[in-house]
Structure 1
């Protein structure tokens, strides 16, 4: 930023090239032009890489932020945070913002903050409360998370800001495979990927063409072993992390999107799958029930293989109805989570930063 530049809204979050949910949301914000026409400075507090790279990025961001504060180039702050290390990083910047008298928005992503909060010491909880209560506005992804923040933290201005969804642009040369399940997310127990492998094994005898594409980083070897042990190794594909054209081709190919997580906020991958016209089978956690309903998908209970099988079976048995569900889901998500609605909530939150 030039020395004579106007004070900016400093956006704290991961590097836009990073892998993960918050970075995906910020890339959509950028593509949708949600910050266009405003003096916004993105400050990367996290990068992909090893521990030293992460520590160096944090230290550099803190130095830059301190310099911006000292030279009067910070008008306000918008902090994108999840749990654990993500929150601890942002809390350092927010403490500096409070010392400098700069207003800020605390924007909570992810679906495990209540569990994180429950495991903290009394001193750590006080720090969390101070960090969040110091915000002019708190943004969350769903009404259930708004209720939790109001009760647990006691903030007076908690608003629901859904993740924005853009119309999907899918390749036309990829045929849809009604019996192919698609999972996008980290390969870890918290995302329910091992439950999905077990459900696949139970469904396979009645569905000879059934396959599952499990795309993401994490415990790849563990998932591969689970598939071998369950007798479905030949039905499971593990392409690793996908984005851009590779992700678009998987969304065009799959017949059903599956996300059997233990906890969530309102996952971007799920919204993108709906925008691509896929019916969704997911768990009844976080903000998911507000977008997955009987007319566009099915809900299952977390950590429950039988429940997931019951949710998936009717869609696999009736591909035509599954396709109709996907079409309805696409209409609903673009109407309810389009850029215009998100822009209105975001503009109102930022306007609040300019008031006393």
Structure 2
């Protein structure tokens, strides 16, 4: 078996809820054809950037070289989100791995610069370096593949692999759905950050309360804008919040099994694990058509794609009134994940890429 170094933030669910950590955890658990050695790149969700963090980052390139020698690494699966801090943090370790002559599988998990060119010449140069020096490039959707091919002509002739994320799918008897219940259970799952469309969510929750809609809002996650978000809610909406904090393991399964609607009106995304996990648990998504989310969510079929701030309220009011429609869309949502985003299919695709080199 090959010894493959794989990078991601911490795999401990108490430290990180990132999609990169989640998919890395699954891949290491299910892919028995290679020996994975995990190397931590990225900070814990609750840690702050300061002097200690900076010193730690400066040591990373040297640690990764020691790691490669110790474990006799033969290839590197390098996970990254095309965000400014990730690009700046990871470029030097990546450069050293390139100098070692190891095959580099560059796995891009979305980010703002997978669908736009940065203004900064430094960031543009770093992105070109990552792409040029990669042995293989993996992206989450054909949309991202087309974008890279169009805007980075030097990639002509290099294969870009499209490999959507995957999730574990709960059994039918593990779900606790009641589509005729008095309360609609609405879910937000992920990093609590304004860029995720929190202002839109707060406005919609306030409007639902004003209209007398009975709902529970499960707020699941941690992040810098949690206090700000809660302050945006009026009294009735605030009373409807169930603040679960960071959820993982059985608690996460429980919340997903109870939820009816998933909200993510984000400004930019890759292919969020939270979206796939919720749909796999028969939760109807209401999301913006950014990143690769529109590849998974078919508008008015297995969920809703929205382009304006008022749409969420109107959709939830309708689903509250038409519970049979809610149940039917939840069924189609789950069916999409079972057919297209299973972990078994994902592992087979990853191993095909490894074997191509």
How does the TM-score come out when normalised to structure 2?
0.87
Aligned to 1:337: 341
In 1, Cα distance between equivalents of 2:306 and 2:258: 23
State the match for 2:84 in structure 1. Answer: 84
Matching residue of 2:127: 128
The separation in 2 between residues aligned to 1:212 and 1:171, in whole angstroms, is 24
Deviation string, structure 1 residues 114-148 (Cα, Å, up to 9, x no partner): 47741322x43122201221111111111111112
Residues 26 and 56 (structure 1), Cα distance of their counterparts in 2 relative to 1, 3 Å cut: farther
* Residue of structure 2 equivalent to 1:118: 118
Q: Which deviations, in whole Å up to 9, do the C-alpha atoms of 1:283-325 show, x marking residues without a partner?
A: 1111111111122111111xx3212223333222212211111
Q: CA deviation digits over 1:180-213, x for unaligned, max 9?
A: 2111122222111220110122223444312322
Q: 1:347 aligns with which of 346, 351, 355?
A: 351
Q: Is the 8 A contact 1:299 1:311 kept in 2?
A: no
In 2, the alpha carbon distance for the partners of 1:8 and 1:231 equals 55
1:61-80 Cα shifts (integer Å, max 9, x gaps): 43332124557922111110
The answer to whether the aligner puts 1:14 opposite 2:20 as a matched pair is no
Q: 1:68 to 1:182 in 2, by over 3 A?
A: closer
TM normalised by structure 1 equals 0.87
The answer as to whether partners of 1:217 and 1:240 remain within 8 angstroms in 2 is yes
Cα 1:115–1:325 change in 2 (3 A) is closer
Show structure 2 runs of 5+ residues with no match. none
User: Aligned runs of 1:88-237 on 2, under 5 Å?
Assistant: 88-114=88-114, 117-121=117-121, 123-154=122-153, 155=155, 156-168=158-170, 176=178, 179-218=184-223, 219-228=225-234, 232-237=237-242
Give the length in aligned residue pairs: 342
Partner of 1:3: none
Tell me which residue corresponds to 1:320: 324
Deviations, residues 318-338 of structure 1 (Å, cap 9, x unaligned):
122111111111112111011
Deviation digits for residues 213-243 of structure 1 (CA, Å, limit 9, x no counterpart): 2211121211111013x75211223222211
Farther-moved stretch of structure 1 (164-173 vs 132-141): 164-173
C-alpha RMSD of the superposition: 2.5
Long gaps (5+) in structure 1:
1-5
Q: Structure 1: how far apart are the matches of 2:243 and 2:40? A: 30
C-alpha separation between the residues in 2 aligned to 1:7 and 1:58? 28
Aligned to 1:239: 244
Kept after mapping to 1: 8 A contact 2:4/2:74: yes
Structure 2 residue aligned with 1:289, among 277, 283, 294?
Answer: 294
Shift of 1:274: 0.8
